[in-house]
Amino acid sequence: MSLNKKDIKKRIFGNELNYVKSVLEKGFRASTSNEMAKKLEDTFSKIFNVKHAISFTNGTSTMHAALEAWGIGVGDEVIVPPLTMSATSFAVLQSNATPIFADVDIETFQICPKSIESKITKKTKAIITVALFGSSPNMKTIKEIAEKYKLKILEDNAECYLGKFNNELIGTFGDCASFSFQNSKHLTSGEGGILITNDTEFADNVRKVQSMGYANV
């Protein structure tokens, strides 16, 4: 499809505009309103080669739901980076757990594996990594640390779509990965988010938090 000067200045045009019109024309009826969400989830599952992709209202609720689905709460600690949008820590606080800040690597500005390991206590339940500025933390080493201490990994990839580390897609290293569609992100629908995972039991628990157990089927 060729673009004209008027379209270039627009944020939504062409097929995107047609999809929005299609949703509006169906009037959000219960039997049809999940069509686009289902297409989004199916596409993400296929691209990342995972069993489950669950759409959300935003990329903060994705992480909150993941922590709740793992049963993380009062008295638990979750390691997070200090250099990121506040939502990464907010999700931990919303789960009534405590965010613990690991330092960042001075060369990459990504969360530092050595600092992560130094922050682990008996209360630590999970690590939230952030693929900042489209780049990636050292997910190989972080995964080894998580396996050593039996910790969950939640990848916050709001700024990284289809990026790779060691030739593997970011979003496929952790137990689950969160993506954001907020209007400043690389891929946007104005607002929204999605969580991907290969763990079926976990996915079912996430849906119970996300929308009372409803699935886009």
Active site residues: 185
C-alpha span between 25 and 65 (Å, rounded):
31
Q: Do β-strands 124-130 and 77-80 pair in parallel, antiparallel, or remain unpaired?
A: parallel
Query: SS3 sequence, 155-187?
Result: EECCCCCCCEECCEECCCCCCEEEEECECCCCC
C-alpha span between 206 and 62 (Å, rounded):
9
Q: Report CA Rg, the chain.
A: 18
Please give the backbone phi and psi of residue 176, each rounded to the nearest 5 degrees, phi first. Answer: -160, 165
Contact at 8 Å (CB) between 119 and 79?
yes
Q: Which two tokens stand for residue 90?
A: 């907010």
Handedness of CA 45, 51, 55, 61 (dihedral sign): negative
Q: What is the DSSP letter of 132?
A: G
Handedness of CA 124, 126, 131, 132 (dihedral sign): negative
